Structure formats: structure tokens, C-alpha cells
């Protein structure tokens, strides 16, 4: 997982599966401001959210999805989300208002809504799609749709309101990847199949272009800056430039 900086705090999830702690350090001094000891870290990274006036960290841990109060590390709510077999909690959750989307290989994709009751929160299940979920990548929410790369290596698209599967690409790439982009086009950096550009508003998978950008596997997330794309493989960092529209 990656740390997150919130105000004057640097927040990390440290240690191993049986002794994990979320620790908030003062940026100026390094002193510990708070810690939460409840579960080990996962591959997924925390997300800062404000739900009904409550600023909180939404994060997947080794075995749970939790919300922590940014001020003091108090756990506000919790959902058990235990991996099975060789699966992991690796997809960073997506927060859209009071709705949270999360997923895990072997368990599918889910959506919940947080509801505040006085000083506490309750969790309402919205939908569960058991068929599609990522392994080592995080989905993207765009224009009411969720796009991901499944544990079987297929690109997929779900309706964010209902969880219904809208399409699945029949090509198989790899469970490793990163999806980035804009309303005009989405980019997926696959492990070995290159950089794939596809349309986000089509009712079926519509590939716009494929670029072979590395001779070896790519695991790092590309960086898009304007019409430039920086891609890092095991040996090199390369800069690619897209033509201006």
C-alpha cells in the first residue's frame, strides 16, 4: 500500500498480517499522533473521504474494509472482507459521496452506502456482482460505469448503479495492470500486451489503439501529463507523446 498525507499528518499502514497498525505521524516532527491496531496491511491504498461531514480514511486492510476518523484514528465502521486462497485485498476502494465501491478477486465487486446515525455509521449493501473483480489493479469510476481488469485478465465494465455487467472483453491479458484516462478515452497498461486505448462510452468493448511500449513486463502505473505518457518497466523509463486532437 501507499501512505497518504492529510493536513499535517503522514499516515502509514505498517507491519504484518497479525500485528498491523495504521499510524499517523506529524509531518514536522515525526511524532506519532495516533495509531489504530486492528488488522494487517493490504496492497490497496487508503482514500480520504468526507461522508456527512465526517472526514475519514476508507481503506482495505488484510481482512476488512474500514473507515477511520482522520482526527484520532477511531474506527467508525467495518465490513469483513476476507481473501481466500491466493487472492488479496489489492484494489484501492472508490468513494463517490456516501457510496463506496470495493472489490477482491474470488469475491466479486460490491457497492455500499454509509449512513450516519447520530455519532455512528451504519452500512447499507447496494449490490454485489460475484463474477468480476480485479486482482492486482484498481478499477476506475467514470460516467456511472466501473472499469476494471479481472482476475482472469479480461477488461470489464459494470453499471455503477446496479452492478450489472455491461461488457467483458474476450481478450485475455493479465491480472496485473493499471487503468487511467478521461471521458474521451481510457488507457490500460497491461503487464505484457502493451498500452491499450479503449472507448469508455461504448456498449461493448471498443479498442481504439494498442501500442507496444516495452520489450519487457510493466508493473508500474504510467503517468499521464497532458499528451505525454511516462512508462516505467524493469529497466527503463520512457516518454511517449500522443498526437494533439
pLDDT of 245 reads 62
Q: Which residues are CB-neighbours of 53 under 8 A, at least 6 positions away? A: none
Query: Do the Cβ atoms of 1 and 11 come closer than 8 Å?
Result: no
What pLDDT does 19 receive?
83
Phi and psi of 191, rounded to 5°? -60, -50
CA angle 4, 5, 7 (to 5 degrees): 145
* In the chain, where the domains are located: 144-245
Per-residue pLDDT of the chain (245 residues; tens, 9 = 90+): 899 999 999 999 999 877 899 999 999 999 999 999 989 999 999 999 999 899 999 999 999 999 999 999 999 999 999 998 888 899 999 999 999 999 999 999 999 999 998 889 999 999 999 999 998 899 999 999 999 999 899 999 999 999 999 999 998 888 789 999 777 889 999 998 899 999 999 899 999 999 999 988 999 999 999 889 999 998 999 999 987 76
The total of other beta-carbon atoms located within 10 Å of residue 163's CB is 20
Task: Give helix then strand counts, H and E, for the chain.
Answer: 0, 23
CATH architecture of 144-245: Beta Barrel (2.40)
What are the angstrom distances between the C-alpha of 223 and each of 101, 102, 204?
Answer: 24, 23, 27
Q: What pLDDT is recorded for position 85?
A: 84
Spatial separation of the C-alpha atoms in residues 72 and 75, rounded to whole Å:
9
Residue 80 grid cell: 469483513
pTM: 0.94
Whole-number CA gyration radius for the chain: 19
Amino acid at each position: 500500500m501507499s501512505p497518504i498525507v492529510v493536513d499535517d499528518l503522514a499516515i502509514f499502514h505498517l507491519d504484518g498480517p497479525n500485528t498491523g497498525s495504521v499510524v499517523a505521524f506529524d509531518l514536522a516532527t515525526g511524532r506519532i499522533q495516533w495509531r489504530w491496531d486492528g488488522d494487517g496491511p493490504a496492497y490497496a491504498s487508503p482514500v480520504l473521504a468526507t461522508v456527512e461531514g465526517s472526514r475519514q480514511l476508507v481503506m482495505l486492510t488484510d481482512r476488512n474494509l474500514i473507515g477511520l476518523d482522520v482526527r484520532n484514528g477511531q474506527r467508525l465502521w467495518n465490513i469483513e472482507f476476507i481473501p481466500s486462497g491466493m487472492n488479496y485485498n489489492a484494489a484501492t476502494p472508490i468513494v463517490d459521496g456516501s457510496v463506496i465501491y470495493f472489490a477482491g478477486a474470488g469475491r466479486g465487486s460490491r457497492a455500499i452506502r454509509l449512513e450516519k446515525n447520530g455519532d455512528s455509521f451504519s452500512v447499507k449493501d447496494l449490490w454485489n456482482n460475484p463474477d468480476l473483480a480485479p486482482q492486482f489493479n484498481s478499477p476506475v469510476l467514470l460516467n456511472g460505469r466501473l472499469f476494471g481488469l479481472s482476475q482472469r485478465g479480461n477488461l470489464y465494465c459494470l453499471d455503477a448503479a446496479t452492478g450489472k455487467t455491461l461488457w467483458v472483453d474476450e481478450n485475455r491479458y493479465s491480472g496485473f495492470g493499471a487503468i487511467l484516462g478521461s471521458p474521451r478515452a481510457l488507457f490500460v497498461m497491461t503487464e505484457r500486451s502493451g498500452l491499450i486505448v479503449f472507448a469508455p462510452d461504448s456498449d461493448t468493448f471498443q479498442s481504439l489503439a494498442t501500442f507496444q511500449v516495452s520489450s519487457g513486463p510493466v508493473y508500474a502505473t504510467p503517468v499521464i501529463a497532458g499528451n505525454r505518457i511516462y512508462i516505467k518497466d524493469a529497466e527503463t523509463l520512457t516518454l511517449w507523446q500522443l498526437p494533439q486532437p
